[in-house]
Amino acid sequence: MNNHGRLRSLVLVLGAGIVAIGRGYAQDAASGEKIFVQCKACHQIGENAKNAVGPVLNGLFGRKAGMIEGYSYSSANKNSGITWDEATFREYIKDPKAKIPGTKMTFPGLKDPKQIDDIVAYLKQFDSTGKKTGAVTVPAGRKFARAL
């Protein structure tokens, strides 16, 4: 193989890597949407979302627990002092009753870390008005690949 050929295959390899990474992100949010079916029994998300059994989940990351207007939270949730970010949410959704003892969210939790990654990617797409921002999470460990 001459130098030109070698360069060509390097470009091809890098190109394939980027396509694979791109597809990985898409799958995260798309698979998160399927996991959200479990939440949908109680929660709505998106531009027309309304409070139901549970509060609207728009713009979750960055807001304090218990802040959705018109929703009647348990005092356990309201007084938890939690700000929802990736770390607090991940702990919570693994086992809601352990993170907020006394919460009225009767959901046993998501046990599979991959499912938690995906639901985070899905929820992150929605800003506080329920519009999809198109933002995607970069799961830890893929940062290097992304730099390529």
- Angle at which helix 113-124 crosses helix 3-40, to 10 degrees, equals 90
CB of 50 to ligand HEC, least distance (A): 14
Positive or negative torsion for Cα 70, 127, 77, 81? negative
* Residue 29 CB neighbour total at 10 angstroms: 22
CB of 38 to ligand HEC, least distance (A): 5
* Residue 51 CB neighbour total at 10 angstroms: 14
- Distance between CA atoms of 36 and 64, rounded to whole angstroms? 21
CB of 137 to ligand HEC, least distance (A): 14
Closer residue to ligand HEC, CB minimum distance, 11 or 52: 52
Rule CB under 6 A: which residues touch ligand HEC? Answer: 38-39, 41-43, 53-55, 57, 60, 65-68, 73-74, 76-77, 93, 103-107, 110, 119
Closer residue to ligand HEC, CB minimum distance, 29 or 68: 68
